[in-house]
Amino acid sequence: MQQDLILCGRVLSFVASPFDAVGPEAAVEVHEALAIRAGKIIGLGSRAALRRAFPEAELVDHGAHVILPGFVDAHVHYPQTGIIASWGKRLIDWLNTYTFPEEMRFADAAYAAEVAARYLDLTTACGTTTVASYCTIHPESVDALFSKAQARGQRVIAGKTCMDRNAPAGLRDSAQNAYDDSAALIARWHGVDRLTYAITPRFSPTSTPEQLEALGALWAAHPSCLMQTHLSEQLDEIAWVRQLYPEARDYLDTYEAHGLLREGAVFGHAIHLEPREKDRLREIRASLVHCPTSNTFIGSGLFDLSGLMADGHRIGLATDTGGGSSFSMLRTMAAAYEVAQLRGTPLHAAQLLWLATQGSATALRLEDKVGNLAIGMEADLVVLDLASTPAIAQRSQRAETLWEALFPTLMMGDDRAIAEVRIDGRKAK
């Protein structure tokens, strides 16, 4: 049994979305301390008040460091860990040149386990405590990630990636195999400890209508699972979908027609959406995931975060490892800020932090579990050092407010800014 714990510092807790509040800063309360018992947050407030309430608790003083919810990465490909930052390709070329050859290796359970452990080490070092990952077509790749996450007490969403066309022979399954393998993995892992299964067609071009139909039937049979896939990432991809699905009204319709559109659907990228798609996604309360480093690295386009948020969409933030060029959600927040600037809609630090925590948790239907520091929430958190490098320190020293002090770390920070990480209340870094 873990001893009760009081962490002192500048504790940030969201009381509203900073996209909805009168001013972004009004969405955040700052406390002196929080208390943890058995992996859950049991108190927020002043240091003195929590010491009185929990006199036997161990006290850890983080001084001027900022204590935040652990980062939630809503769209990743852990099997692409080894090929991150591969040079110079558009999406389809990038898949064929780098991704598919690497994913072939995950038929080897030992290799899958090695990469899964390395991926979780790298992301934990960057302050990420929850991820939603695509695996490969191999059930071994799913077992590897869930097993490693379970051993760490970590909340992870994942699923077998299903493809039955337009991929190498060694990476194709069938409609029936996709259903059967995924059903077996759901039975083995879904809802066990802190693990959630996501039914995972890679995207419409690599699935036949028959496979999408089978996965729609599987989701209907297991409605508590999520469904994750890609949508409207690049213009040439959209043109390809039109050729493959000439009867579809648009890209989204290729999923909707096969039972893969309802609340709990999580669509990565969603850059080039048609008006009907936007309306339908909002109506159905599906989630969109902004992947800014990937979208710029692969040259996909500029996601309309502010416009979609203003229209009422659920939006999370993600690194999209390894199309994205960093494991760090700090770098991802910086990229989201840069993309927003290019669209003429700058983001406040509170909005960036919300996207990387509560926004992503909400996109994954985990907002009652992770993504915020509030009583009853799971104790996944990160402690930020706002003077982790000389460049950041000299800037933050000039700050007159907490937000001004925090912003340089969001723009220039990396794993050195992560002073401590706790997963399920236990120290992970």
> Domains in the chain and their CATH numbers?
5-69+373-427 (2.30.40.10), 71-363 (3.20.20.140)
Compute the distance between CA of residue 199 and CA of residue 38 in angstroms, rounded to an integer.
Answer: 31
Q: CA-CA distances (angstroms) from residue 337 to 147, 288, 291, 390, 396?
A: 35, 17, 12, 22, 18
Q: How far apart are CA 60 and CA 381, in angstroms?
A: 14
Based on C-alpha coordinates, what's the Rg of the chain?
Answer: 21
Look at residue 85 in the predicted model and tell me its pLDDT: 85
Q: What is the pTM of this model?
A: 0.97
Contact 71, 421 (CB under 8 A): no
What is the per-residue pLDDT for 86? 83
At 166, the amino acid letter reads N
* 125/152 Cα distance (integer angstroms): 14
Confirm if 325 and 85 have CB atoms less than 8 A apart: yes
Cα gap 355→358, rounded to integer Å: 6
Q: What string of pLDDT tens digits covers the 429 residues of the chain?
A: 678 999 999 999 999 999 987 789 999 999 999 999 999 999 999 999 999 999 999 999 999 999 999 999 999 999 999 999 888 777 778 788 888 889 999 999 999 999 999 999 999 999 999 999 999 999 999 999 999 999 999 999 999 999 999 999 999 999 999 999 999 999 999 999 999 999 999 999 999 999 999 999 999 999 999 999 999 999 999 999 999 999 999 999 999 999 999 999 999 999 999 999 999 999 999 999 999 999 999 899 999 999 999 999 999 999 999 888 999 999 999 999 999 999 999 999 999 999 999 999 999 999 999 999 999 999 999 999 999 999 999 999 999 999 999 999 999 999 999 999 999 999 999
The candidate with the shortest Cα–Cα distance to 215, out of 254, 245, 268, is 254
**How confident is the model at residue 359, as a pLDDT?**
98
Q: Minimal CA–CA distance to 215: which of 230, 197, 201?
A: 201
